[in-house]
Structure 1
Amino acid sequence: METLDLFEMRANCIRQRVMLCFNGPISRSLIEEIGHALRKYLEDAEASPGGAMDVFAVYVEMTQNIRHYASKMNYSEADGAATVVVSRDEQGRYMISVGNLVEAPDAERLLQRIQQLAALDKAQLKAAYKEQLRRPRDADSPSGAGLGLLDMARRSSEPLQASLQPMPDGRSFFCLRAVFANA
């Protein structure tokens, strides 16, 4: 087994201004604990209450989506693992980045939906959110990419960014990033 270079990992985290980082299986209690740490960090950094709430709400939505997807797909603990990073750049913007394994067709649909949302301005996102609220829930449609994704897009100060890394097993490693300038 390769020796873990914690000093280099720490240097990378400092250089990239990482506040919180987690990689592994994600449970409801873990989402809660990381959420408490995130709230404390935002409080200590004197983030605006509204901005801090946006960061926290998007963190919760992202991580719960990963957890629900892994459960729905009956992924093993290893396959259901997530990578979660919260960082702050030189301009003071907070960024939440998450990644997880997703079945390739689901990943493609999700990527397309995020690209569609990225093309909308704040007024259009608000209108789409209200329209989605009024729609009856389709029991046959796959969960996800509905209200939660719209809410994340509305709360983020920049368009959501997503990418896919194809895996040899027919799945993709899906990455999603939200940026918050007003926190």
Structure 2
Amino acid sequence: MSDFLNQCYAQMHKGDIIVAYKGTINADVIADTLGLVESKLDDLLEHNLVRKKLYNVLVECLQNLYHHVDSVKYNEASQNFGAFVLSKTDTGYRISTGNMVKSDKRVVLKEKIDKINSLSKEELKDFYKFVLNNQTFSEKGGGGLGLIDMARKTGNRLEYQFSSYDEDFDFFNLNVLITE
């Protein structure tokens, strides 16, 4: 499994890397990462609006990663595996996250992201309100607002890719672009 995950992680590395991590995803890793990124952004960004947007979207991405990782039960080391990369690009910043998801979630997740990507700014706003008022929570506590919120805050399409690991699991890679 490690060769497969290393290949997926390597594909996430694009642009000038600010922070990169792969390993067990837990609350401490998320908190430490957010502290590190906040410090680095203070040094890198003079535009407060871009820094705030980038940080807020990163929080949402890492929360999604933490709450929606599916554990592969083959061995202890592979449980709750996730990866993320924050990098600088020519046009702004890129947040790339990756985690294992059960293959049977692939279609629903793809449809959800494709729907979000098809909506205009105004339609996204309306859809956000609709989901907020009519949401049902998943078994992991998610109501579906995270992806919508990322698209709204960035004004960009959510890029994604699934890489089949085995018949039960896929590696899900989400890329979010924050333009300056």
Distance 1:82 1:141 in 2: 19
Deviation string for 1:29-60 (max 9, x for gaps)? Answer: 11111111111121111242232222212222
Matching of residues 1-183 of structure 1 within 5 Å: 16-70=15-69, 76-91=76-91, 93-135=92-134, 137-138=135-136, 143-144=141-142, 146-182=144-180
Runs (4+) off by over 4 Å: 12-15, 71-77, 139-143
Instruction: Say if 1:22 and 1:83, in contact at 8 Å, map to a contact too.
Output: yes
Q: Distance in 1 between matches of 2:147 and 2:125?
A: 12
TM-score relative to the length of structure 1: 0.80
Confirm or deny: 8 A CA contact 1:98 1:175 kept in the other structure: yes
CA offsets 1:83-138 (integer angstroms, 9 cap, x no match): 100001123x1110000000012122112211111111211111111111222x43
CA distance in 2, matches of 1:51, 1:103: 34
Secondary structure of 1:99's counterpart equals strand
TM-score, structure 2 normalization: 0.82
SS at 2:49 equivalent: helix
Q: Secondary structure at the match of 1:151?
A: helix
Give the secondary-structure state (helix, strand or coil) at the position aligned to 2:45: coil
May I ask how many residue pairs the two structures share in their alignment?
Answer: 169
Identity of counterpart residues, as a percentage? 25
Query: Which residue is equivalent to 1:9?
Result: none
State the 1:165 CA deviation. Answer: 0.4
Amino acid at match of 2:60: E
Structure 2 Cα separation of the partners of residues 15 and 165 of structure 1: 18
Change (3 A) 1:24 1:34: same
| Match of residue 7 from structure 1 | none
Query: 2: CA distance between counterparts of 1:78 and 1:51?
Result: 35
Structure 2, unmatched stretches of 5+, are 1-10
CA shift for structure 1 position 144: 3.5
